[in-house]
Amino acid sequence: MLLLTAVFIAASCIGTRKDIQDALDRNVIDDDYTILHVADVKDGHLVFLERNAFNDIMVALVHKSGDKSKTDYGGYLRQDPETQGTLYFAGTLGGNTYSVYFGNLIEPPAPNEKIHIELGNHIKKEAALFQASRAAIWFVCFDEKTEHIPVSVLRNVVDA
């Protein structure tokens, strides 16, 4: 029974990745791509893609139904190892608005380092991290509109 459960969980994870790929429109993405990171949100997934020829990072909100017409796209973050970049993307999924800030780090994070994002000197949130081909990428997601607010990337090492 335990083995059957493990097989079912593995199969459902593979199905989810395939479902996400099926919901992405290559004509909108305009390139071959690699899915770098998937974060679950209400009614679907926040998906970060690396466009291969353009060598940039794009974000998409994919509805859990897999309907391509409900997928929302935005942001093209260059992977320039010399320049730290930050992008803002606001998308709607199933009636929910998501404000996503994402960017690259010039120096990769240390093993125990935490990255926090501060918006307007009063909203602070720990960023999630993932690795792209040329840069470490951070992101934070808010369920309300937060555009036109100054963004600061705060780095600190936490003792293990």
Residue range 43-58, pLDDT digits in tens: 899 999 999 988 899 9
pLDDT band at 61 (very low <50, low <70, confident <90, very high): very high
pLDDT score, position 143: 66
Residue range 101-133, pLDDT digits in tens: 999 998 889 888 999 998 887 778 999 999 999
Mean pLDDT, rounded, of the chain = 83
pLDDT score, position 14: 38
CA nearest neighbour of 24 among 81, 79, 73: 73
